[in-house]
């Protein structure tokens, strides 16, 4: 089974890291069979599984439930689980909820959005011996404050602040960092500014790895697919299925073929 140290070693070796979301046992088996490096039980389940228009209604009980069933099915991939909205602003509450995801959700590490005001919560979780994955750029849990799903970090000051935040997260012990919907050049800059793996979603090909919502890359999500995603299933020859689509994604990430320019922002 892959460890956090294994994922970190991949950055040092120059090997791209392939991550997808999963929310149930069956899809988890497909991801593991295809050689995915890590699985994210994302609060994106609020939109693609529960039918909400944002991640905000997702609860701790939801995350524990989905994390536990993914953990039961995975055999090789590292498992990362989101702490949902309003569950980590207070350091003591954050520590308790992170413990629940580790103990009840059986995950390997927890993911939190942002820096600044939540640095103390992150530090408290890490001091409790729980690994943390950070998340900068577009923060879906802060979508109301951001005014919509928009590319972040285009202005120089905002880009510089994001680099500073990435360094701050690394300095307190964050082990992996996700950056979402930022210019490709900024994704490259952040990846080169820290020693921890930087995983992009709409952040350009020069990040250390990529993550997508599984339903998006299988063409299952209703409505318009995000620009930064790609439907890997429909491009397969007839008779090929989910495992082959995930394997194609893994290969495209590893080779640097994905994301291409059309999946990135400037």
155 is catalytic: no
Q: Exposure string (b/e) for 72-104, b if CB count within 10 Å is 16 or more?
A: ebbeebbbbbbbbbebbeebeebbebbbbbbee
Q: How far apart are CA 266 and CA 253, in angstroms?
A: 20
- Write down the pLDDT at residue 207: 98
- Write down the pLDDT at residue 120: 98
Q: Which residue has the higher pLDDT, 246 or 239?
A: 246
Q: What is the mean pLDDT of residues 172-184?
A: 98
Q: Average the pLDDT over each of 37-51, 81-95, 141-155, 197-211 and give the range with the smallest value.
A: 141-155
pLDDT score of 98 more than 90: yes
pLDDT score of 148 more than 80: no
- Closest to 63 (Cα-Cα) out of 77, 42, 47: 42
CA atoms within 13 A on the CB side of 82: 27
Q: Average the pLDDT over each of 20-24, 29-33, 222-226 and give the range with the smallest value.
A: 222-226
Q: How far is CA 117 from CA 120, 135, 142, 180, 193, in A?
A: 7, 14, 13, 19, 22
**Average pLDDT across the chain, whole number:** 96
Q: How many CB atoms lie within 10 A of CB 62?
A: 19
Q: What are phi and psi of 183, to 5 degrees?
A: -55, 145
Domains, the chain, with CATH or none: 4-263 (3.20.20.60)
- Write down the pLDDT at residue 205: 98
Q: How far is CA 170 from the centre of its chain?
A: 16
pLDDT score of 18 more than 90: yes
Burial class (CB in 10 A: 0-12, 13-18, 19+), 7: buried
- Write down the pLDDT at residue 224: 83
pLDDT score of 84 more than 80: yes
Candidates 120, 180, 185, 251; catalytic one: 180
pTM of the model: 0.97
Q: What is the mean pLDDT of residues 82-97?
A: 98
- Write down the pLDDT at residue 169: 98
**pLDDT band at residue 64 using 50, 70 and 90 as cut-offs:** very high
- Write down the pLDDT at residue 145: 75
Report how many helices (DSSP H) and strands (DSSP E) the chain contains, helices first.
Answer: 11, 8
User: Residue 39 in 3-state DSSP?
Assistant: strand
Q: What is the mean pLDDT of residues 33-52?
A: 97
């Amino acid at each position: 089974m892959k460890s956090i140290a294994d994922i970190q070693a991949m950055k040092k070796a120059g090997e791209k890291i392939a991550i997808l979301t999963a929310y149930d046992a069956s899809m988890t088996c497909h991801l593991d069979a295809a050689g995915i490096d890590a699985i994210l039980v994302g609060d994106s389940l609020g939109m693609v599984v529960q039918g909400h228009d944002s991640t905000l209604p997702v609860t701790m009980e939801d995350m524990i439930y989905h994390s536990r069933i993914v953990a039961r099915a995975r055999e090789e991939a590292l498992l990362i689980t989101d702490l949902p909205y309003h569950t980590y602003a207070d350091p003591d509450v954050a520590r308790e909820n992170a413990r629940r995801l580790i103990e009840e959700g059986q995950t390997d590490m927890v993911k939190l959005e942002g820096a600044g005001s939540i640095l103390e919560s992150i530090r408290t979780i890490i001091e409790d011996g729980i690994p943390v994955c950070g998340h900068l750029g577009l923060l879906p849990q802060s979508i109301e404050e951001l005014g919509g799903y928009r590319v972040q970090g285009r202005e120089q000051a905002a880009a510089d602040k994001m680099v500073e935040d990435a360094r701050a997260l690394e300095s307190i012990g964050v082990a992996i960092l996700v950056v979402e919907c930022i210019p490709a050049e900024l994704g490259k800059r952040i990846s080169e500014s820290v020693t921890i793996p930087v995983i992009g979603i709409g952040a350009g090909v020069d990040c250390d790895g990529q993550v997508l919502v599984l339903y998006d890359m299988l063409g299952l999500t209703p409505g318009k697919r995000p620009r930064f995603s790609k439907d890997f299933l429909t491009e397969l020859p007839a008779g090929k299925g989910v495992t082959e689509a995930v394997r194609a994604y893994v290969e495209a990430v590893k080779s640097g073929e994905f994301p291409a320019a059309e999946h990135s922002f400037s």
